[in-house]
Structure 1
Amino acid sequence: MKTAVVICPGRGTYSATELGYLYRHFPGPGLLATFDRMREQAGQDTLSSLDGASRYSLAKHSRGDNASALIFAATVGDFQSIAREDIEVVAVTGNSMGWYSALACGGALTSEDGFRVANTMGTLMQEALIGGQLIYPWIDEDWVPQPGRRAALLALAADIDARKDHDLTLSIDLGGMFVLAGNNAGLQAFEDAVEPTQGRFPMRLGNHAAFHSHLQRPVAARGRAVLSPDLFQQPDLPLIDGRGAIWWPEASNLSALYNYTLGQQVTNTYDFTRAITIAAREFAPDLFILTGPGATLGGAVAQSLILANWRGLDGKSSFKSIQDDQPMLVSMGMEDQRGLVT
């Protein structure tokens, strides 16, 4: 039996190629019907109708109130599809809103309550839509770390943030990428100051608010007002959060877990790189399983393992060599890899 850490993706992973993902992969109609009823009761489009649309609409499917629910459902469905007779899940982590999915996969929330949290927070963020995000790399195209470049970019962001009427801060430490959050003035100043690279960066993220920054304090407060601490319970599996802290089964302070989830997790930097580093070093799994939808987080997972010097990884070529010989990272959103773990 192989051991695995499961990684839950965040926003931006349900795109045009994922349309119909729930129809193709969700393991049972009962839970999906429950999610649909919860959406109907909230006056929202059902997941079945969104996932079953004839074409993907960026304006509709990428909205926070729709995207969060679709991604959560796809993640939980994939988690339930893992062949547990062959694979022992030893810990769960996630990126950004993937933390809500991780809480459900790890048992700290039931699937229904996890959906309630993810859908509520996605809806509140969409309603407020405070600020925005952009993404920019600090490692090179061969995934070799450039620490001087990293320091210079963080110094630039701090300089911009110090300017009058400018907000800019590190939102997600995402492997070899920085996701920056801020108001339009701060984001525009950064875009104007850096060199375009790799044909697509800096990349402004559509329908994304300034997640994981102080700008989200009103959203966090609204979340705490409508979501009860009673939703949370002791996890079944160790959970690694956006600081790299581990929440252990039967030993977690549920009040602290609630406060982190609807407080610091919303308003402070999410350190995905550290979460993966801790997952590797503390649990030493045979596999890292990235649930769907999509597989775009795979690069950030690999880069995080390189930064952790996991198994001697030092760049894209060494990762590819190990991955081609005996995969250490399985992306369930990729059909050719999904069968390795289901």
Structure 2
Amino acid sequence: MMKTGETAATGKLRALVVAPGRGCYNKEELGYLARYHSDKLAFIEAIDAYRRDLGQKPVAELDAQGKYSFKLHTPGENASALIYACAMADFMDIDRERFDIVAVTGNSMGWYIALALAGALDERGAIEVINTMGSMMSDGLIGGQMIYPEMDDNWRRDKTKTALLDRVIAEVNEQAGCELYTSIHLGGYRVLAGNEAGLTQAEVLLPRLEERYPMRLYNHGAFHSPLLMDIARRGEQALPESLFHRPRLPMVDGRGHVWNPFSTDLARLHSYTLDHQVVAPYDFSQAMAVAVKEFAPDCVIVLGPGNTLGGPVAQTLIANQWFGWQSKQDFSEAQKLAPKLIAMGNPAQRPIATGE
């Protein structure tokens, strides 16, 4: 790992790279692969050859649709591979003359992408893991997810909202036939997972905010909850440990655990990836906190497609007062001067990462 002084000597910026999860390829992102990655035909074709063998629509074809379709673009068997293709291709475009990538992390499905970024999964292994796990509920979703704010207007943790969410989860689980869990700690938001009865009851108990929340996440199963025990079992059986390799870059997982290149136990990595993080809460906020404190990045690069993860990343940086940010206003003003949070899905910020 490079020290700060060595960064100054090379003239490069230390960069933490963050991979997005589901829900980041929306109407505005249609055509993302064609727009930015027409030079990566071999990489995209390898993904599509794998999917064709399974009778699935190629990601290039999904990206080239004339109109965005919730029915076509949001199911896991399509969204996962499409998002992976976009994010991995973005990673390839980061200007290595300007940036030293010191670590990678990701949110939810972004953990699978982070494994690919770090080389813990090769290209074939990455699409096999991502496509397999993304297709596990193609015959029917198990449960669902909803999102609710856990912050104030300054993008700082609101203890009252935290207590409210914890209380609602406890109350819902006391009711017969209801299951509700914390799924993801997502910066200033909490993602909840549950069965239909549990989610419906949570919608009754949680006060309506901003005419948006609580918000159901369309075509999302009950990820990172005990409801996916069977999915975890099937994933472990379908995807052998031999797909995994020691990473070339440090990786920070959804517990804040660091997997280093020279000390990664592949059996444990396999078990965490296909068991623990499937059925237990994914703490993206903790992953970010550990990543910035452990690797001291000069900037954070969020891969595309889209920029839905930009807010939660900024909120975790504010919570840790990284870059001196203590509020939403601090973040906004600093970003206008010289962005330290660089979203490759943002056309205005993309050239900073690519050097174009």
How far has the Cα of 1:127 moved from its partner?
A: 2.9
**How many angstroms apart in 1 are the aligned matches of 2:169 and 2:322?**
29
**How many angstroms apart in 1 are the aligned matches of 2:330 and 2:174?**
40
**How many angstroms apart in 1 are the aligned matches of 2:214 and 2:331?**
25
The answer as to whether partners of 2:115 and 2:121 remain within 8 angstroms in 1 is: yes
**How many angstroms apart in 2 are the aligned matches of 1:125 and 1:108?**
25
**Superposed, which structure 2 residues align to 1:327-338 within 5 Å?**
327-338=339-350
- Code of the aligned partner of 1:240: V
C-alpha deviations, 1:291-332, integer Å up to 9, x for none? 000001000001111112223322210111222222110000
2:26 is aligned to 15
**How many angstroms apart in 2 are the aligned matches of 1:280 and 1:250?**
20
The answer as to whether partners of 1:306 and 1:315 remain within 8 angstroms in 2 is: yes
Backbone CA RMSD of aligned residues: 1.0
The correspondence for 1:3, drawn from 10, 14, 26, is: 14
Q: Which moved more, 1:145-154 or 1:34-43?
A: 145-154
TM-score (norm 1): 0.98
1:317 correspondence with 2:326: no
**How many angstroms apart in 1 are the aligned matches of 2:23 and 2:230?**
23
**How many angstroms apart in 1 are the aligned matches of 2:295 and 2:147?**
29
How far has the Cα of 1:128 moved from its partner?
A: 4.3
**How many angstroms apart in 2 are the aligned matches of 1:315 and 1:188?**
33
1:266 is aligned to 278
TM-score (norm 2): 0.94
2:68 is aligned to 56
- Code of the aligned partner of 1:330: I
1:303 correspondence with 2:333: no
**Superposed, which structure 2 residues align to 1:9-158 within 5 Å?**
9-26=20-37, 27-158=39-170
- Code of the aligned partner of 1:2: L
**How many angstroms apart in 1 are the aligned matches of 2:201 and 2:153?**
24
The correspondence for 1:165, drawn from 174, 177, 185, is: 177
The correspondence for 1:196, drawn from 185, 196, 208, is: 208
SS at match of 1:88: strand
**Superposed, which structure 2 residues align to 1:165-314 within 5 Å?**
165-314=177-326
- Code of the aligned partner of 2:76: G
**How many angstroms apart in 2 are the aligned matches of 1:316 and 1:268?**
30
Structure 1 consecutive aligned stretches of length 4 or more whose deviation exceeds 6 Å: none
**How many angstroms apart in 2 are the aligned matches of 1:292 and 1:114?**
17
**How many angstroms apart in 2 are the aligned matches of 1:272 and 1:57?**
28
Any unmatched runs of 5+ in structure 1?
Answer: none
- Code of the aligned partner of 2:36: H
Q: Which moved more, 1:20-29 or 1:114-123?
A: 20-29
How far has the Cα of 1:284 moved from its partner?
A: 1.1
Percent identical across equivalent pairs?
A: 45
**How many angstroms apart in 2 are the aligned matches of 1:128 and 1:161?**
23
How far has the Cα of 1:140 moved from its partner?
A: 1.9
Q: Which moved more, 1:273-282 or 1:158-167?
A: 158-167
2:3 is aligned to none
The answer as to whether partners of 1:134 and 1:204 remain within 8 angstroms in 2 is: yes
The answer as to whether partners of 1:128 and 1:219 remain within 8 angstroms in 2 is: no
The answer as to whether partners of 1:240 and 1:279 remain within 8 angstroms in 2 is: yes
How far has the Cα of 1:70 moved from its partner?
A: 0.3
Q: Which moved more, 1:171-180 or 1:300-309?
A: 300-309
Count of aligned pairs between the two proteins: 342
The answer as to whether partners of 2:149 and 2:161 remain within 8 angstroms in 1 is: no
The answer as to whether partners of 1:168 and 1:182 remain within 8 angstroms in 2 is: yes
- Code of the aligned partner of 1:169: Y
Question: Structure 2 vs 1, CA of residues 168 and 247 (structure 1 numbering), >3 Å: closer, same or farther?
Answer: same
SS at match of 1:139: coil
Any unmatched runs of 5+ in structure 2?
Answer: 1-11
How far has the Cα of 1:100 moved from its partner?
A: 0.5
How far has the Cα of 1:171 moved from its partner?
A: 0.2
**How many angstroms apart in 2 are the aligned matches of 1:281 and 1:151?**
27
The answer as to whether partners of 1:105 and 1:111 remain within 8 angstroms in 2 is: no
How far has the Cα of 1:160 moved from its partner?
A: 0.9
Q: Which moved more, 1:118-127 or 1:330-339?
A: 118-127
